[in-house]
Amino acid sequence: MAKVRIRGLVELEKKLGRTIPDAAKKAAGIAALDGAQEMAELMYSLAPEDDGDLKRSIEVTGPGGTTPAYSQPGGSRTAGETEAIITAGNDRVRYPHLVEFGAAPHLAGGLFEGAQHPGAEAQPFFFPAYRALRRLVQGKASRAIGRAIRSAFGKGGR
């Protein structure tokens, strides 16, 4: 689960000596959602396609929304008012971590107990996209929040 969270709002409230205007919180949520959508598009383009289920399971959950059950990692969770969460996986696709990180050769259990599984090569798609766009998204969010605060306090914004 990749989170796009706007950090520093509490510290900024303390510096200003008052609560952050609702417009700034709204701007932070919108910026987080926009950034998460951008990251999700890159993840989608990097994800391997066998039957397409993994790609279709990549989902962005906006502020106040709940992530899908069984999504990787951590399952169902509610996003805060200034965050967007990107997940891969759902109740049908429970293997994104195995694609992202690979699997070592091992003996199978369950129905095929004792069978030798050859392992699987890692095919990273999730975290490379997150690392590639994280700073860009954080910068855009910071600028959007700054514009909203300047506008709320009558200093004008672009």
Confidence at residue 34, expressed as pLDDT on a 0 to 100 scale: 96
Determine the Cα–Cα distance for residues 69 and 59; give it in Å rounded to an integer.
12
Confidence at residue 21, expressed as pLDDT on a 0 to 100 scale: 72
Print pLDDT tens along the chain (158 aa). 666 566 676 776 666 655 567 788 888 899 999 999 999 999 999 999 989 999 999 999 999 999 998 887 677 899 988 899 999 999 999 999 999 999 999 999 989 999 999 999 999 999 999 999 999 999 999 999 888 888 877 765 45
pTM (2 d.p.): 0.79
Confidence at residue 95, expressed as pLDDT on a 0 to 100 scale: 92
Q: Using alpha carbons only, what angle is made at residue 157 by residues 154 and 158, rounded to the nearest 5 degrees?
A: 160
Confidence at residue 157, expressed as pLDDT on a 0 to 100 scale: 47
Q: CB–CB of 97/79 below 8 Å?
A: no
How do the residues of the chain divide into helix, strand and coil, expressed in percent and rounded to 5?
A: 45, 15, 40
Residue pointed to by tokens 């950034």: 35
Nearest to 7 by CA among 66, 67, 83: 83
